[in-house]
Structure 1
Amino acid sequence: MKRITMAAGTTCLALAVAAPLSAHAAGLGSASPAPSGPASVAVEKSRVADMAAALHLGSGEALQVKTVVSDRDGTTHVRYERTFQGLRVVGGDFVAHRNGKGALAGTSGRASVAVASTSASLSRSAAASKVAVGDLKAASTTTELVVLVTDHGPRLAYDILRSGVRADQTPSRLHTFVDARNGKVLDSWDEIADGTGHGIHVGDVTLSTSGAAPSYQLKNPTTGAFTTDLNGATKGTGTQFTDADDVWGNGSTTDRQSAAVDAQYGADKTYDYYNTVLGRRGIWDTGKGAPSRVHYGDAYVNAFWDGTQMTYGDGINNANPLTSLDVSGHEMSHGVTENTAGLVYRGDAGGLNEATSDIFGTAVEWNAANASDPGDYLIGEEINIRGDGKPLRYMDQPSKDGKSRDCWDSTVKKLDPHYSSGPLNHWFFLASEGSGAKTVNGVAYNSPTCDGSTVTGVGRDAAEKVWYRALSVYLTKRSDYPAARDAAIKSAKDLYGAGSAQSVGVAKAFDAIGVPKQAETP
């Protein structure tokens, strides 16, 4: 691999913090999002009482505004969290949609949150004793009484959060929900979503750096994204990468700066994609970049965007960092999911969460147009984590990895999210490229359908924008595949119109992965 050089002050990745949508995105019509920002959130906070009255909220319910998405025609989509009699409601989030005149036009994902009593029969210590310690090291535990929305209605429960590090050194924030009346474990998921990989793959690149000789900094002066070395740790602030001559790394793991270049490049390219293609200015949509805190020695990279941490690695091959483009985009996209739909990392929602990161990691890779890591529909194809030269996942036919599903049914939710992601990854390929055998960008694919149909793709660009709108406007924490179908079709109609090739194609792609028709029609 060639020596990697970055020139201070170059503008190849210099982005205007408040850059408008690309010309193509702006041409999508009235559903194209306009910047919402803190002012919009503040306005909606002032309207909380009016919204509560319009929704006829029950006694004891209160709303907190999380995010606001504004369309160019004045329509707004306000995402709320809820409390019940002062208790946090887990899974009580929903989206309220206002028309251009400000009137309530409907909601997405709203469920009942009222419980008969908020008095627990079980003590906190008794609830905590129900949670196995497992392999977590240096763990701390907090216990909070909450209302948990389940598939069978709301339950008074304890949220027992164990934070620590697993035996393989993966950080963990494991939530276990215990019924506050009978001690039954109701649900569990880890707050930290993991991916796997290793390698240095971006090749010869130019990035914007800061400072001057003899102390250049690996920091983008426009977005503020910077990279630090964790020096073998799994957490902490790390040490800022600096260099005397602004020539960084040697393209191999013998120089720690090489990994830092990959990480910085991945962070910048991910921000670039969200900002210029989707009109989102980072994870929190604030215009800030991503400090990428990097180390190797036990094969982990920590990426921080706007204060949100994503950690990925598995320790299988600890010689190299985890910094390929699609892996970087994947992990940072977990932060976008957390700050939009907030899909929990279990059941169908966990699969949708993981596939969302695959979709946007893939989109980042295509958008970067890097000759050393060209766009494809393979996940982690550069990292060779298993030593067999094969990708981690295949979007055209997910079952080729031996564990993922091509088709959705009611049993998919029982799988690990890395494998229940298969049907949505399959949908994305079908919606983008269509079914059957084809070669795209030099890679051969053969995508079957679960119903034997033939699907014509609507294009990757449209599929990306449809799924992003579904994520940011319609999906909620516990959305399942049928809800995802309705959200995507509705999003396609918002963007391209009812009966459009895009809305019809999106629906047919869901037919083709086995998700049955729901309320929304194309």
Structure 2
Amino acid sequence: MKNKLISAFLIPLLLGVISIHAQRYVEQKIYGDDGRSSFIIFNSGTAARDAALSDSENFFSEIFKLPPGSKMIKQESAKLFSDFSDEKYQLFHNGIKVQFANYTLHFIKGNLVSMNGEMYDTSDVNTDANISESMALANAVKFLGAKKLMTNTEHGNDIGYTPKAELVLLPVESSDVKFRLLLAYKFDIFSAEPFLRSYVYVDAKSGDVLLNDPIMKHAGHESNSHSGDHEHFIGAKKRAAINLAPAFVAGNAETRYSGTKTIETTLLNGKYVLRDNTRGNGINTFNNNNGNYSNLSNTDITDNDNNWTTAEHNPSGNNTALDVHWGVEKTYDYFKDTFNRNSYNNQGAVLNSYIHVLSNWENAAWTGSAMVYGDGASTFRPLSAFDVTAHELGHAICQSTAQLAYQRESGALNEGFSDIWGTVVENKYAPEKQNFLIGEDITKVAPNYLRSMSNPNSGLQKQPDTYKGTYWKDASNSCVPNQNTNDNCGVHSNSGVLNYWFYLLVSGGTGTNDIGNSFNVTGVGFDKAAKIAYRLETSYLTANSNYNNAMTYGIQTAKDLFGADSPEHKATQNAFYAVGLGTAYSGGGANPGTDTQAPTAPQLSAGSTTQNSTLLSWSGATDNISVTGYDVYRGSTLISTTSATSYTVSGLSPATQYTFTVKAKDAAGNLSVASNTAMVTTLSSGGGGNSTSYCTSSANSATDERIANVTFADINKSSTGTTGYENFTSTIGNVTKGNSYSISITPYWRSTKYSEAYAVYIDYNKDGDFTDNGELAWSKTAGTTSPVSGNITIPSAAITGDTRMRVIMRYNALPASPCGTYNYGQVEDYTLRISPSNSISSLIGGELANENQNVITVYPNPVKDIVKIKSQSDSEYNYQLVDSRGTVVLSGVSISQSINVESVPAGFYIINLENGKEKATVKIIKK
């Protein structure tokens, strides 16, 4: 079997010499290692665009001098971000697909700016098969050692699996030419015993196996419990969505690894089940009852009241299903909300998950139709943690976009991107976790995490942080990929290089790498780094891309998105240099490096903290007029880069302490020292505020009329949002029971003034709805007055703490309900912070004055154990310590004007003080 597990994947190629006629379009060519160009940058203007769009067949033929019978056929068009779009083309010869020969055209603001891909010589190919498909299938099955295919199994029938061949032309490395195209049968071999799945290519003339490209991706930890130790595989078909008549509802889930979360469930036959049809074609989680893979069981996990508690579901281990269900939902949300990607295939593919697969199975897998999770054994706990689910769906996205072959460097990139998405999604929705560690929740043995992106040399699975540096595994042409003996030439080990690149791109760093290069990277934060990674993977990389391709295209991606010589371009290039690829940034800009004086540090403060967010604000660096922006850090992690002097941090966990700093940077790349540290403790979760799941309410259209401004208490919120619903729960209005506050709502009309009605709902009893008596706080019948105004009095029976206020503007009629949808208008949600009625205004600093001007000081604040009271009366006080839900958690009489709060959990509280003559209320933060 000479040249069988081939090196056909090493270098993306372009065929031929660019014709003289085509030179009119081309500005620059970047060549692959074999001397053939792989990346073409076009001249500015519309000539190349017009040629490509008007006659793509002639355009490609002119560029590549394609022989008769060969043509590029458009496969898909994709719109990325606001100004970017791609068109992907596949090469066919005499109607037969040339495997891996594809090209992507890149458009920015409608103009064709570049294209890249792989191309192979089709001038001398034979398309006649000598062996039958059945014989080729037998050879493929024998090669893999498959004893039982998924054909005619319950799961195989469920997904419509059949090992039907596709005839393709496969590039194979040859002795006389770089690559020769051989006619091959391509099979999707899905084996139940042993558990594996691969694309196997069989020579249609000789019957030899030419290539084995694993579809399943294993976790990088070799388990002894089962021979089929795999983490991820992709199938050709999708399970059909489960049709359900009942409505989907929000449930409360106490997950095993991520705390209490809100999940979407379904009421079915009187019980709630883990089925969510609000995302794509459905997200469903089932119990496989420790069965095998071939007969996956659609057994629902049920709950009687949609409050999925640990006490109910942990004894059976079914609380792992809650992690899976929530994790898949939030991973779907990230890609949909951030990149408008509808499931992994961007067509809403259903996502089914199964827990309790096999007994003591130390792995998890994505099958293309389902995810399966083992319960773990000696090395791992149940493999259902958040970064595992995001990692799995990351593989699926790669399969639907770059299709990086699972061997050598392309396979390492495949694994690296999955770790990147595991980290990005975890940071978005669970920032309290150790985001740059992979598998920290599930790993039992020291060092208690599988991989580290910030220090790849550490971890259960040690990886290189430098290209071909320490811990690098052989990925050269001489390495024959084998899943069992060499990790397909180091796909899990060598992914550490991409992991460390991404870590530096996010957070920055300095040092000297394994090949002696000193580096200095200024991070750009998670959002920008993820945008660069997503475009690199989905627009530029191809099946056989290697690390040098990733560097070339990664730098180009940063230029596309943020401009040449931008801070993002510099950071991307310097991060690649830090991991041993390319050169450090040295050009562009106005004499970069001549200005070496860093800006002064900003002065930072925090406020408007809720259960899930806080508002950071800081003074600008006024002594340096060249300041271009600010880097915001949570702990040591860079979370945002902004030109503004404020930033709302969202996605925080309730009752959790965080520290934040800010650094200023100037046009020369100088970075200030860190600001003062702002310590924030988010509010405790509970009955109201942002932690409660409220019914949805929205207008179908806010184009012609919407809310322009809401003023109430200390809320003064202007909005230009054009969606039917705006979530402003990070905007807080402070009110006191018994007091009356004016409400003013200003409408916006695009042209015609329409008649609008208004309603304001407040959840005074914090039970998660607006249907109780008095919770329609104010309304106004339809009219064209602008603004409309009135008064709202906070009832004395209202519960102290944070709760939800909903403002509705509806065309021509009062809303019939605080929930549901209507045609025209807008809905906005806010947070109200309700304080007890008293004659003294509370102050977060801890100093109050009563009506007799007796100054009362409560300190320290934040407090760790003992609260001190200082007042002129020098008397003791009766006290109550009230949490954010309005519950009294501590009461008594102060001793020596001190209150011991050591026993209460960290969080936000209100202390009520009273001594018969004086009353006072103060907010404190317990550390």
TM-score higher than 0.5 here? yes
Match of 1:194 in 2: 218
Identity between Structure 1 and Structure 2 (%): 29
Q: CA deviation at 1:289?
A: 6.0
Residues 352, 369 of structure 2: 8 Å contact kept: no
- What is the rounded CA distance, in whole Å, between the counterparts of 2:370 and 2:76 in structure 1? 19
Q: CA deviation at 1:136?
A: 3.4
Q: Superposed, which structure 2 residues align to 1:228-243 within 5 Å?
A: 228-231=286-289, 232-235=291-294, 236=296, 238-243=298-303
Match of 1:149 in 2: 171
* Distance 1:154-1:287 versus aligned 2 partners, 3 A rule: same
* Distance 1:136-1:128 versus aligned 2 partners, 3 A rule: closer
* Distance 1:219-1:142 versus aligned 2 partners, 3 A rule: closer
| Aligned-partner SS, 2:458 | helix
Q: CA deviation at 1:476?
A: 1.1
- What is the rounded CA distance, in whole Å, between the counterparts of 2:375 and 2:266 in structure 1? 32
Match of 2:56 in 1: 51
Match of 1:344 in 2: 405
Match of 1:465 in 2: 531
Residues 352, 421 of structure 1: 8 Å contact kept: yes
* Distance 1:499-1:68 versus aligned 2 partners, 3 A rule: same
Match of 1:388 in 2: 446
Residues 79, 93 of structure 1: 8 Å contact kept: yes
Residue 171 of structure 2 aligns with an amino acid whose one-letter code is V
Q: CA deviation at 1:257?
A: 3.0
Residue 92 of structure 1 aligns with an amino acid whose one-letter code is A
| Aligned-partner SS, 2:106 | strand
* Distance 1:315-1:255 versus aligned 2 partners, 3 A rule: closer
Is structure 2 residue 356 aligned with structure 1 residue 295? yes
Q: CA deviation at 1:177?
A: 3.0
Match of 1:80 in 2: 89
Residues 376, 382 of structure 2: 8 Å contact kept: no
Among candidates 412, 433, 444, match of residue 507 of structure 2: 433
Name structure 1 gaps, 5 residues minimum: 1-46, 438-446
Match of 1:109 in 2: 117
Residue 190 of structure 1 aligns with an amino acid whose one-letter code is P
> Residues 112-133 of structure 1, C-alpha deviation per residue, up to 9 Å, x if partnerless?
2514211245665378547754
Q: Superposed, which structure 2 residues align to 1:400-411 within 5 Å?
A: 400-401=458-459, 403-409=462-468, 411=474
Among candidates 70, 73, 92, match of residue 61 of structure 1: 70
> Residues 420-441 of structure 1, C-alpha deviation per residue, up to 9 Å, x if partnerless?
212111211121222358xxxx
- What is the rounded CA distance, in whole Å, between the counterparts of 1:436 and 1:376 in structure 2? 20
Match of 1:137 in 2: 147
| Aligned-partner SS, 1:92 | strand
Is structure 2 residue 316 aligned with structure 1 residue 255? yes
* Distance 1:297-1:112 versus aligned 2 partners, 3 A rule: closer
RMSD (Å) for aligned C-alpha atoms: 3.5
- What is the rounded CA distance, in whole Å, between the counterparts of 1:178 and 1:58 in structure 2? 26
Q: Superposed, which structure 2 residues align to 1:171-320 within 5 Å?
A: 171-180=195-204, 185-195=209-219, 200-211=256-267, 214-223=270-279, 224-231=282-289, 232-235=291-294, 236=296, 238-250=298-310, 253-287=314-348, 290-298=351-359, 299=361, 301=364, 308-310=369-371, 317=378
> Residues 207-241 of structure 1, C-alpha deviation per residue, up to 9 Å, x if partnerless?
22222782222123421322122222324362233
Match of 2:497 in 1: 423
| Aligned-partner SS, 1:357 | helix
Residues 296, 321 of structure 1: 8 Å contact kept: no
- What is the rounded CA distance, in whole Å, between the counterparts of 1:187 and 1:277 in structure 2? 36
Runs of 4+ with >6 A deviation? 196-199
Q: CA deviation at 1:88?
A: 2.8
The structure where helix makes up a greater share of residues is 1
Residue 376 of structure 1 aligns with an amino acid whose one-letter code is N
| Aligned-partner SS, 1:94 | strand
- What is the rounded CA distance, in whole Å, between the counterparts of 1:330 and 1:107 in structure 2? 29
* Distance 1:319-1:377 versus aligned 2 partners, 3 A rule: closer
Among candidates 515, 520, 531, match of residue 455 of structure 1: 520
* Distance 1:113-1:376 versus aligned 2 partners, 3 A rule: same
- What is the rounded CA distance, in whole Å, between the counterparts of 1:286 and 1:245 in structure 2? 33
* Distance 1:153-1:328 versus aligned 2 partners, 3 A rule: same
Q: CA deviation at 1:329?
A: 0.3
| Aligned-partner SS, 1:391 | coil
Residues 291, 303 of structure 1: 8 Å contact kept: no
Residue 345 of structure 1 aligns with an amino acid whose one-letter code is Y
Q: CA deviation at 1:369?
A: 2.1
Residue 453 of structure 1 aligns with an amino acid whose one-letter code is S
Residues 450, 513 of structure 1: 8 Å contact kept: no
Is structure 2 residue 551 aligned with structure 1 residue 485? yes
- Is the radius of gyration larger for structure 1 or structure 2? 2
> Residues 80-131 of structure 1, C-alpha deviation per residue, up to 9 Å, x if partnerless?
33332232322122212345456x5432113125142112456653785477
- What is the rounded CA distance, in whole Å, between the counterparts of 1:317 and 1:296 in structure 2? 16
* Distance 1:286-1:273 versus aligned 2 partners, 3 A rule: same
Q: CA deviation at 1:353?
A: 0.6
Among candidates 292, 314, 331, match of residue 392 of structure 2: 331
Q: CA deviation at 1:191?
A: 0.9
* Distance 1:515-1:263 versus aligned 2 partners, 3 A rule: same
The structure where strand makes up a greater share of residues is 2
Residue 454 of structure 1 aligns with an amino acid whose one-letter code is F
Residue 78 of structure 1 aligns with an amino acid whose one-letter code is E
* Distance 1:370-1:107 versus aligned 2 partners, 3 A rule: closer
Q: CA deviation at 1:78?
A: 1.1
Q: CA deviation at 1:182?
A: 5.7
- What is the rounded CA distance, in whole Å, between the counterparts of 2:380 and 2:497 in structure 1? 33
Residue 454 of structure 2 aligns with an amino acid whose one-letter code is D
* Distance 1:376-1:101 versus aligned 2 partners, 3 A rule: closer
- What is the rounded CA distance, in whole Å, between the counterparts of 1:239 and 1:364 in structure 2? 28
> Residues 389-425 of structure 1, C-alpha deviation per residue, up to 9 Å, x if partnerless?
4211121232334553222249445523111212111
* Distance 1:284-1:172 versus aligned 2 partners, 3 A rule: same
Residues 357, 372 of structure 2: 8 Å contact kept: no
Q: How many residues in Structure 1 have an aligned counterpart in Structure 2?
A: 457
Residues 96, 106 of structure 1: 8 Å contact kept: yes
| Aligned-partner SS, 1:206 | strand
- What is the rounded CA distance, in whole Å, between the counterparts of 1:200 and 1:312 in structure 2? 14
Residue 276 of structure 2 aligns with an amino acid whose one-letter code is N
Q: CA deviation at 1:281?
A: 2.5
> Residues 20-45 of structure 1, C-alpha deviation per residue, up to 9 Å, x if partnerless?
xxxxxxxxxxxxxxxxxxxxxxxxxx
